[in-house]
Structure 1
Amino acid sequence: METGLQEGNNATDGTRVVLAAGVSLDPVRHEGPPPLDGGLDPLDEAPEHSAAVAEALAAFGYRAWPSGGDGEAPELPERLRAAVKSGADILVVHIAAHGLLARAGSGGLYVVGSDGEAVDEAVDQWISLIEDHPRADRPLTLFLLDLCYSGTSAVLPWHQRLETGERRAWVIAASGPDEPAFDFRLSRAIAMVLRRYQEATLRVDPSQRFIPLPAVAREISRVVAEMNLTDGMDQRVTTSRVPFADQLDHLPFFPNPLYGGRGPREQMAGLDEGTFPLLDEGLDVRHFLLRAAGSEALSQMPGRGYFHGREAELADLSEWCNGGGGPLRVVTGKPGVGKSALLGVLVCAAHPALRARAPGLWWRLRHTPAANDRLAVVHARRRSLTEIAESLARQMGGDVSRSAKGWGVEQLLALAQDGAARPFTLVVDALDEAERPSDVVFALLMPLLNARTLDGWPVVRLLVGARREPGFAPLLEAARKAGGLIDLDVADSDGVRASLRHYIGDLLAVDTPYAVVDGAAVGAAFAESLADELMPARQPDGRQPLGWGEFLVAGMYVRHMLDSPVVTDTNDARRVAREVPRDLPGLLDLELRRPGSHPWLGPVLTALAWAEGMGMPERIVAHVAGVFGTGVGPAPLEDVREALDAGRFFLRQAVETDGNTLYRLFHEGLAEHLRARPRQGGPQQAQAAATSTHAAAVVLRSLLDSVPASPDGGRVWEAADPYALRHAAGHALASDSVDSLLNDMEFLAHGDPASVDAVLSSARSDWARLVAAVYRASYEVHRPLTAYQRRQILAVDAARHAEPAMGERLARPSGWAPVWATGRGVALALLNTLHDASGRLTGVASASVNGYLPPSRRAGTRPRRCGI
């Protein structure tokens, strides 16, 4: 049988079927009001809610499986088996009914039929019907179970042991394994969420063909959490569990209504969209393409390159990329001077996946490197040491998914020396914008740089783009001594001015009023005057040199001119050029003061100045912008979307693991300015000024407000946005609030383990330090596991630290809590555990760092371990 399915459970537009069953009790069995003696509620509204779910799924292309006439509940197993064997590619099974756990035997979950008796087959048998016959054309199946105790079927032990990519059955359950479900909350939430996606109230990036299943499940959980607050009685949605880092965006259950293939990854004109999955996320191909093109300020896609000047630097670095010179080059200079643009054209020419697909960005330049198949590139902005190392490892051929202990210098060096004599070339741009950049220098880059083969040759060659900062002193000094330091602030003013003039002229030469004969003279006058203004032959008395990159300011000001009424006189063009602001913040203020500027633009851009990682999703932006706008609650989502569109020239976009579009400011210098001087406003002036001193705490509080509340006053972290799970710890660190966040046991279970571990050393109170010790005790074990598994391990480690109360809080949703545990030889001072699976570790040498000598002890069993 031919289907629309591809290998690896990926699917195109295959046949979609929904089997929806709402099971009410037979009217003969009950008369009058619902029983008060513990008997079964008749569930008269079950068919109505099931029909609503089926109707919502119909908008996603699902056709209803025949009901089989009246008395459907006794026939439910037969109908389900028929649907499974129907030849459908994708099946959704929705059941709204009573659920019953077997009191003996398997303890499995059964659906209660209309006769008040359990049907003959347990739900786990239906899941087995899908999973036990992988060669029998079984459909990808999603079970939506609105039953009491339905979480039992979501967490079947044998099902959890299956590799994520091998599973064909998935479950979204109304409640936990031992918990009741109330008032058809799951069914109501499913219908509501699916309608919101169709109406674009909820949306994922247009580049995503399917709405990722975890995103749908999370939104359903959020709606159920809201119902818990209004209706009372806590109910937690339970879903099929997967390891923390596993991705499910290949599952085709919900086609994206906004899909158009024109998201951030596909907007590169002239590039095959098949290229992008081949490139590692850390490479951030959009960053390098746009900076190489030089057209970002005009929101033009990089089909053509506008790079000008830097001839000597291009010649030197092209020769270096081809293997000449020493192992290190560092490109430095002020914000916006063109570090990323220079590295961008080099990467686009040298990277095999980009070279042939973006020739317009580099082919006309006099000096460019050859293609290099041993090249790994990382855009370090807002990335941690771990993320940078893992990105390099993936690009160097390492299987990161199989390395639970992460990637360090030794592993990267092993990859670099695997079967090739030529050194690996590593490019790290925006090093100064990484998280804890000095750690990246000392723990990663310098050790890699200093490594040598047995013959004394460098193992890697390193090209870095960064501003000058004290923490980079060893790297900058090593580059200076080797003749590899390239300072873009030191340049011939005449050459820069000429390149500026050509750059501005090129920006005006395509599809603008100044590209035609009548406007050419005006455009030329503007280009010449603007270049003279930004890079004068002689600095006027009292004027400071431009503190920002001339090309960056020029590109943004050209966009401002093109958004203004057309200039028709050369004198007016020169006057407009002389009014250019002297820095990027001045250009921002020019935009904010423009008539018709969106009232939420300032607060939205200020919110994005605090964005971590690849950026913030809309919902988080709305919560944070609300503080800088009205100061009361989140900003209206529609206003946020309009402001994001109005400010698109200042923004970058990426795609989150759940398919949501992420936004961040296009330049770190602008983010630094807005963090120091927030732009407040909105429809009303903010009542409470968020100064730079308190802004970090305000941002954290807004971020936490985006996480649904639970009736007990806690937060439903399983329903939090991935951004909150990944970056709440970083925001807590910025606001000196780590201790408070570590007191949230649910966050410890659900938060991104790497980001939590990164802030543990900042714990201050005795309690927070104890929590940190518990978290670290088995960190390497629970790091890659599910949140459910992590909470169990943390609960045991709490008992090992003689803290049963902490263990009870951690284990509460799992139904059991350890009160005592062996293996109590734990130390509060433990920072990390170094593993040596080969068993060759025989000793550890300690070095004094700032007068501190870290103690260590070695375990005497294999695999060898050393606690630091």
Structure 2
Amino acid sequence: MSSVPRDGGAGENGGPRRFLIATSIASYSKSPGWNRPSLVEARDQIIELFTGKLGYQHETALGLNPTKAQLSDQLRAFSKSPDRREDDLLAVYVSGHGEVLDGDEHVLLMADTDPDDIDYTALPTAELARAILRGTPVRRLLLVLDTCYSGRGGNDTAASALKRISAEWGQATESGLVIVSSAQPHQQAQAGLFPRLLSDAVGNRATAGHGPRALPVDMVVKQMNAHPSLPKYQRISLAMVGLTGQVPEFFANPRYGTWLADVDLAIQEAAEFDEQARLRDTELTRRLLVHAMGYPSDVAEGWWFCGRHTVLADLAKWLRPPDADGHDCQVVTAGPGSGKTAVLGLIAALAHPERRRTVPVGSLGLTPSLVPDAGAVDVAIYAQNLTDMDVLNALAAAARVRANTVGELLKALEARAGERPFTALIDALDEAATPDTLCTQILRPLIKYSEGRIRLLLGTRPDLLDSLGIRPTNDVDSGRIIDLDDSHYADPEALTAYTVRTLIEAQPDSPYRRRPEALRPVAEAVAAAAGPSFLVARIAASTLAAAEDVVADPQDPVWRASLPCHAGQAMREDLVSRLGNDAQRAADLLRPLALAQGQGLPWEDIWALAASAISGRSYTDDDVVWLRGAAGSYVVEATEAGRSAYRLYHQALAEHLRDGIDTQAAHTAVSEILTARVPYLTDGTREWARAHPYTLNHLAAHAAAAGRLDKVLGDTEYLVHATTRSLTAHLQHARGDTARLTAAVYRTSAGFHSTDTASARRQVLALDAARAGATALWRQLIDHIPEGHWTPLWATGSGFVPALRDTLNGHSGSVWAVACTNLDGAPVAVTGDEGGVVRVWDLRDGSPVGQPLTGHTGPVRAVACTNLDGAPVAVTADDGVARVWDLRSGSSIGPAVTGHSGSVRAVACTNLDGAPVAVTGGKGGVVRVWDLRDGSPVGQP
């Protein structure tokens, strides 16, 4: 028995090996008008999918843009190799242009095809089967044709293969040819769409849960055809030829596995919840609370918050137990610097059971109607740099539940029935890692399907309102929006008062301490120029306060015209005014902080080097010390992983400092510095165990932004020691084949890496690498496993994740009908048994959803699922009766549908002239159509 497979996806006695040959014809030497550069990326996506999630080894000899002879010869050479075995699984992917000649023969246009002689120079698609199958050991072939009219190509190939199969394959076990075509015989295929459809189908839990070892090919195709991105004119087709037994397992199930006992999950959950609570407390104290207090960082800590009583009153009222008409979502929006985070930070502090005691309610003029109840907010999240899953995990942890999807979270929150809704405050949506998907895929579904289970108080800039599904022009939606720049909420008096305090206290030698008569007029002029922006007013006032012997003339039109209106302008003018020729020096030193991740950039041996590398000018720690004194008001000190971290006071300042620079080159400089600071071991490798915490937490983010993640992933000891949560979020940016395979191996057990020790993580990574056939990665990992620790020598199978349950247990008798759908984003199965009971199951963990649906008096023989006026419903049928069920509430809708004289054996749902209908068939050969809204018959039987 060999220790590791020489090639393919499994050892010699560990199941079939998996091989992929993928090519795209994207460039045509004799017809440049046919060129399709996007097909290169399509091929890359297929390679990533098959080598990552599906456990295939990519054969690279063919490459891109083969000629007619090269494609045939390479396929033939691989298939005839003495190393081929009958149990090998071979997947061949071809994308490019396809044509149908003379109305009946499909051909592939190759790189050397002559447009004036297509008949002779193109490759008949049927030749693919002959090249691979005739006289070779290959018995299990998956052929994927991603071309126009490829359904005809699939038919031609199937017909050609039939002759060869019947003569040569005999009774070989689980043999067969499976052909997946991206278009029906008379359809054109949308370029580049097929790989995404296939990847989503493989990743969709509705295709298969944790139990099956392989994904059924027909179910994969069905999910592709159900994908909302598939044009109506295009359908994916499937042909299966010469099957001898089971369909070969071409699509390994990436979710298959049976790890973890319940007690392990409980312990892991508790640790994760506690860690999330610590992260949220850090965000509250270091982000939200700092903005709420509003004091410049270079003066003594204190509460500078002014006014804003109108918005505070509205938010405090909304946070109290809602009435029947209360919105489940309230959005606070404004332009940069208008105090959005200050308002939400104050609300978070006042709602916190302990922190509220630190807020000087009296001196801030806060009456009881402006103060939310203690505990009114269950969690406060500052979304800057957070991924979609970070936010979802934070919400789930605060609710003390485990949820990997929006649907799972909503379902878990149902257990709080009778309590007040779970309430979350989430600020800085526009600063999240992926703002659009955070809004459209996480928050918008939570808002839409809340049904009183969760309430969201959100802070964002206005451009994300549409992504949240909230439109100011809609009367209902307008009630959800609090725009701090609107005259109703702007509070210019509060802005003027804040400016007055800044003019006096921002500098100990401020000239406005000695000229009280000029104080308010100057403050009003600054506030008027700043518009609604407290940030601009603060910077401008700080600049004026720093001019020790000069008091501005508020009546001077030239001076008033020079006042800044935007944060970047205010910052630039402030630095020039106060620092003169050193303004560039300050900007250079501040710029690395505009790239900082997490709580901020470390000073230690990193900050000054980054400033030097980005600017091209030499800086040292002495310069950083100077900056802290000269422009310290722009910098906030925080802590992360027990170390000091530094960031800019406001995101608008970071945007200004990033403007006009090559950010990719800047991130490259930071990632190189972080890597260079990792010490070496005596064998010449880096000792990642001693790397700075910032490096382990955020190197992946900088490397991904620099386009250098592949290089970082090449160091296996970095994988062992990197922070899992941060690394996993950026693995999608791996580009090369080796890096993408490494990323796939890492993802396989990412859930365990987050809690494993470095030693255990190394062993699990080595095991997953062996399973995936990533031999080089496996060898590097086992070379670092200490003597005396278990070491994986070989492993079988492909990617896997824990499965919580293999079967759905609950029916007391035979199950006669099954259908699948999505319920609030979660894939579910609806099953009916011989006792007339219908049950709904969450396919992710096998748990029942709601109570059994009862009402049928006979065996449930048919089930179908659809949407009725936006609600997911199931239509079930027994002996002569069909019923409609609301899958959310479990209640029946309308009267039972009657009319069949015998048992109903089949149900299907569709839309007829805009009306939802069910089509039922049963004994006696009668088919009936019913209007699902009222159960009335449509037309004649």
- TM-score normalised by the shorter chain: which range applies? 0.5 to 0.7
CA distance in 2, matches of 1:423, 1:607: 42
Residue of structure 2 in register with 1:306 after alignment: 305
CA gap of 1:730–1:752, structure 2 versus 1, over 3 A, is same
Match of 1:385 in 2: 388
Provide the residue aligned with 1:326 in structure 2: 327
Shift of 1:448: 3.1
| Residue of structure 2 in register with 1:344 after alignment | 345
Residue identity opposite 2:528 in structure 1 = D
In structure 2, relative to structure 1, the CA distance for the partners of 1:779 and 1:525 (3 Å cut) is closer
Of 548, 553, 558, which aligns to 2:541? 558
Give 2:457's match in structure 1, choosing from 463, 474, 477. Answer: 463
Of 361, 370, 388 in structure 2, the residue corresponding to residue 368 of structure 1 is 370
C-alpha distance in 2, partners of 1:244/1:447? Answer: 24
The alignment status of 1:507 with 2:491, answered yes or no, reads: no
Render the CA deviation track for 1:618-661: whole Å, top value 9, x for unaligned.
123233122134556xx42343233244332112222121x211
CA distance in 2, matches of 1:494, 1:765: 51
> Aligned runs of 1:8-47 on 2, under 5 Å?
none
Deviation, 1:765, is 1.7
1:732-751 equivalences in 2 (<5 Å)? 732-751=703-722
In the alignment, which residue of structure 2 is the partner of 1:622? Answer: 608
CA pair 298-761 structure 1, distance change in 2 beyond 3 A: closer
The CA deviation at 1:413 is 5.7
Tell me, yes or no, if the aligned pair for 1:336 and 1:552 is still in contact at 8 Å: yes
562-571 or 701-710, larger mean C-alpha shift: 562-571
Provide the residue aligned with 1:639 in structure 2: 623
1:717 counterpart = 2:711: no
For 1:844 and 1:784, how far apart are their aligned partners in 2? 37
Q: For residue 836 of structure 1, what is the amino acid of its counterpart?
A: L
SS of 1:595 mapped into structure 2: helix
Q: Decide whether aligned partners of structure 1 residues 792 and 408 sit closer, same or farther in structure 2, where only a CA change above 3 A counts.
A: farther
CA distance in 1 between partners of 2:318 and 2:806 (Å): 38
- Indicate the SS of the match to 2:730: helix
2 CA distance for matches of 1:654 and 1:837?
Answer: 44
Distance 2:621 2:514 in 1: 43
Contact 1:393 1:412 (C-alpha < 8 Å) held by counterparts? no
Cα distance in 2 between the residues matched to 1:862 and 1:503: 53
CA deviation after TM superposition for structure 1 residue 676, in Å: 2.3
Residues 1:677 and 2:660 aligned together = yes
Q: Determine whether 1:483 maps to 2:507.
A: no
> Which residue does the alignment assign to 1:794?
765
What is the SS of the residue equivalent to 1:814?
coil
Q: Deviations over 1:385-414 (max 9, x none)?
A: 34334444454456xxxx7x9797635763
Q: TM-score, normalised by structure 1?
A: 0.56
Q: Return the alpha-carbon distance in structure 1 between the equivalents of residues 551 and 588 of structure 2.
A: 35
Deviations 1:142-167 (A, max 9, x none): xxxxxxxxxxxxxxxxxxxxxxxxxx
Counting only pairs closer than 5 Å after superposition, residues 96-135 of structure 1 correspond to structure 2 as: none
1:715 CA drift (Å)? 2.6
Mapped partners of 1:568, 1:772: distance in 2:
60
Classify the secondary structure of the residue corresponding to 1:614: coil
Aligned to 2:294: 294
**Residue in 1 aligned with 2:598?**
613
Q: Secondary structure at the match of 2:535?
A: helix
Change (3 A) 1:516 1:528: closer
Equivalent residue, structure 1, for 2:891: none
Q: How do 1:728-807 and structure 2 match up within 5 A?
A: 728-807=699-778
Report if the CA contact (8 A) 1:795-1:811 is conserved: yes
The residue aligned with 2:893 is none
CA pair 345-838 structure 1, distance change in 2 beyond 3 A: farther
**Residues 1:528 and 2:524 are matched in the alignment:** yes
Q: Say what the alpha-carbon RMSD is for the aligned residues.
A: 4.1
- How far apart, CA to CA, are the structure 2 residues paired with 1:380 and 1:339? 14
Instruction: Output the CA distance in 2 between the equivalents of 1:846 and 1:764.
Output: 34
Equivalent in the alignment of 2:82: none
Structure 2 residue identity aligned to 1:359: P
**1:459 Cα deviation after fit:** 0.5
Give the structure with the higher percent strand: 2
Report the CA distance between 1:468 and its aligned residue.
3.0
Counterparts of 1:780 and 1:415, CA distance in 2: 23
Aligned match of 2:589: 604
Secondary structure at 1:352's aligned position in 2? coil
Match of 2:563 in 1: 580
Change (3 A) 1:846 1:661: farther
Secondary structure of 1:463's counterpart equals strand
Alpha-carbon offset, residue 840 of structure 1: 5.0
Q: 1:371 to 1:283 in 2, by over 3 A?
A: farther
Q: Which residue of 1 aligns with 2:429?
A: 431
Distance 1:804 1:777, change over 3 A: same
Shift of 1:795: 1.2
Deviates more, 1:609-618 or 1:809-818: 809-818
Matches within 5 A, 1:72-111: none
Contact kept, 8 Å, 2:327 with 2:480, in 1: the verdict is no
SS of equivalent residue, structure 2 residue 462:
coil
Alignment-derived partner of residue 858 in structure 2 = none
Quote the residue 1:706 is aligned against.
677
Pair member with larger Rg: 2
The structure 1 residue matched to 2:636, chosen from 647, 652, 669, is 652
CA contact (8 A) 2:709 2:733 kept: yes
| Local SS of the residue matching 2:564 | coil
Matching residue of 2:879: none
Structure 2 gaps, min length 5:
1-267, 811-817, 828-841, 848-941
Q: Which amino acid aligns with 1:322?
A: R
For residues 728 and 704 of structure 1, the distance between their equivalents in structure 2, rounded to whole angstroms, comes to 8
Q: What are the superposed Cα offsets for residues 130-153 of structure 1, whole Å, 9 maximum, x if unpaired?
A: xxxxxxxxxxxxxxxxxxxxxxxx
Task: Return the structure number with greater relative CO, CA threshold 8 A, min gap 6.
Answer: 2
Measured at CA, do residues 415 and 723 of structure 1 come closer, stay the same or move farther in structure 2, by a change above 3 Å? farther
User: Are 2:344 and 1:358 equivalent residues in the alignment?
Assistant: no
Query: 1:521, 1:797 → 2: CA distance?
Result: 74
Pairing of 1:539-558 with structure 2 (within 5 A): 549-558=532-541
Distance 1:640 1:410, change over 3 A: same
Between the aligned partners of 2:820 and 2:356, the Cα distance in structure 1 is: 46
Q: Which amino acid aligns with 1:826?
A: S
Quick one: structure 1 residues 576 and 720, their matched pair in 2 at CA, closer, same or farther if it must change by over 3 Å?
Answer: farther
- Alpha carbons of 1:451 and 1:486: their partners in 2 closer, same or farther (altered >3 Å)? closer
Distance in 1 separating the partners of 2:729 and 2:594:
22
* Residues 836 and 368 of structure 1, relative CA distance in 2, 3 Å threshold: farther
The alpha-carbon deviation at position 578 of structure 1 amounts to: 4.7
Q: Is the 8 A contact 1:379 1:430 kept in 2?
A: yes
Report the CA distance between 1:335 and its aligned residue: 1.1
SS in 1 for 2:327: coil
* 2:614–2:669 CA contact under 8 A, matched in 1: no
- Matched letter for residue 609 of structure 2: H
Within 2, Cα distance between the matches of 1:637 and 1:841? 65
Q: 1:749 touches 1:790 (CA, 8 Å); kept in 2?
A: yes
Contact kept in structure 1, 2:428 and 2:459, CA below 8 Å: yes
Would you say the 8 A contact 1:381–1:434 is kept in 2? yes
**Structure 2 counterpart of 1:476, which letter?**
I
Measured in 2, the distance between the counterparts of 1:342 and 1:844 equals 48
Cα gap change, 1:556/1:490 in structure 2, threshold over 3 Å: closer, same or farther? closer
Choose which of 572, 595, 606 in structure 1 pairs with 2:579: 595
Identical pairs, percent: 28
Distance 2:394 2:717 in 1: 29
Q: Is the 8 A contact 1:416 1:424 kept in 2?
A: no
How do 1:50-69 residues align onto structure 2 when only pairs under 5 Å count? none
Whole-angstrom CA distance in 1 between matches of 2:845 and 2:497: 63
Q: How far did 1:350 drift?
A: 2.5
